Structure 1
Amino acid sequence: MPTTTARPLPQVVDAETWRRELDALRVREKAATRELDAVAAQRRRLPMVALPDYTLVGEDGPVRLADVFEGRSQLIVYNHMWFAGKEWHCPGCTGLTSQFTRLEFLEPYDARFVIVTQGPIDEALAYRERTGNRMEWYSTSESPFGADMDAPPGGGFAVNVFLRDGDTVYRTWHTTGRGTEQLAHTFGLVDVLPYGRQEAWQDSPEGWPQDEPGAGWLSSKQVAALYGPGGRAAD
């Protein structure tokens, strides 16, 4: 059957050959799953460090870090990049956090997930509204918290995890860069597609479509057009 696309296609084989190749791949997939389980087990055994009594600013004003937990014992913080004086902020941060529209599933785990940014709270909340973001936002613009958590003014993004015991908060885990991919469903979905992420750094067959890293990501403005007020994907 002639091809109907200019793109190269995977090899066409019989069902038995396809099943054999799939079974071989499954061995590696299961090994990777077991390794991720082992990594998570090591993460649960990490020591932690006690933090000072930071004060952030939320929608209702100043709030102690211990109170950001809202009575829960565990807290995940996405430190969202902020470009002072700009209308649009980090597209990676904006796109990744736009996925989290229903976080109530964390309640049985005694946990919360929020955004902390270096932007002043009024500007941060306006950006949340403009992009249709559904998460709770806090500002560290008047606190050293962000810088101490490896997300300083003008710096990059990060994910930090905390454990609360009474009024004492402990930092238990931190990641940045591609370490944040495990929080999102986007890359997992794209990675199972035949052409994958279509980024030049990836090991793909000869002739596969490839572009610069991040070329397929939505811009912050596109996220706003989809999910912000009046956006066609907003509900």
Structure 2
Amino acid sequence: MTTNPLPPIVDVDTWQRELNALRVREKAATRELDAIAAQRRRLPMVEMPDYTLEGEDGPVRLADIFDGKPQLIVYHHMWSEGQEWQCSGCTGFTSQFTRLEFLDNVDARFVVVTQGPIDEALAYKRRVGNTMTWYSTANSPFGSDVGAPPGGGFAVNVFLRDGDRVYRTWHTNGRGTEQLGYSFGLIDLLPYGRQEVWQDSPEGWPQSPTYSRWASSQDIAAAYGPRSAGA
């Protein structure tokens, strides 16, 4: 007899009835997300100054980070000065994005921008095996102006380019970034979910302190970084 916490065991008809009831809410949530996306497409925008950031090949204008495309998503990676291992949440989140070529089909690009000096940022990118393109705003007010100042948290910004003119169209931070990745979507399908204390779970479900089950930056480097390949 197992001592593990388990959902109730029922017959197939009961299970299907409960699933159908949940499906009504899932479909309503899908339609609400569609409506939110429609509202997002109707947001006004703000014109941006002509910022210069630092890239792997030197200084680069914000308009040129689009690489000729009209749309740009920027993930602002948290940066702690002088630390070997940067934010594990940012490191884990951005490690998901290893195949971004599909954005070419919608004329868009997705990059990382951080407050860390470019040499340190690129060294960290290599250490943890990140495959995205990174830029530094250490010598520019860009990060501070879009909600990601030095010593601040992570954020996502979206921009639209019309010729050399760049506009800010959307911003989020905190849990607003969850919809952009796949990891939590998969975990939330599981019977035990994220197993974190803040989640509403049945009595007896396994629960741990928030973040305690997240991969550390060292774990990510071991899995994806150069040392994982014996370098």
TM-score normalized by the length of structure 1: 0.96
Give 1:185's aligned residue.
182
Q: Matched residues in 2 for 1:183 and 1:22: separation? A: 26
The reply to whether residue 96 of structure 1 matches residue 111 of structure 2 is no
Shift of 1:230: 3.2
Is the contact made by 1:7 and 1:209 (CA closer than 8 Å) also made in structure 2? no
Q: Matched residues in 2 for 1:213 and 1:221: separation? A: 18
Give 1:106's match in structure 2, choosing from 90, 103, 111: 103
Q: Root-mean-square deviation (CA), in Å?
A: 1.0
Q: Matched residues in 2 for 1:41 and 1:215: separation? A: 36
The reply to whether residue 203 of structure 1 matches residue 200 of structure 2 is yes
Give runs of aligned pairs for residues 135-174 of structure 1, distance below 5 A.
Answer: 135-174=132-171
Give 2:216's match in structure 1, choosing from 216, 219, 227: 219
Number of aligned positions between the proteins: 230
Give runs of aligned pairs for residues 54-133 of structure 1, distance below 5 A.
Answer: 54-133=51-130
Shift of 1:216: 1.3
Is the contact made by 2:221 and 2:227 (CA closer than 8 Å) also made in structure 1? no
Shift of 1:7: 2.5
Q: Matched residues in 1 for 2:104 and 2:61: separation? A: 20
Q: Matched residues in 1 for 2:4 and 2:132: separation? A: 39
- For 2:208, the aligned partner's letter is D
Q: Matched residues in 2 for 1:209 and 1:25: separation? A: 22
TM-score normalized by the length of structure 2: 0.98
- For 1:183, the aligned partner's letter is L
Deviations 1:26-75 (A, max 9, x none): 00000000000000000000000000000000000000000000100000
**SS at structure 2 position matched to 1:116:** strand
Shift of 1:24: 0.4
Q: Matched residues in 1 for 2:4 and 2:146: separation? A: 45
Q: 4+ residue runs of structure 1 moved beyond 2 angstroms?
A: none
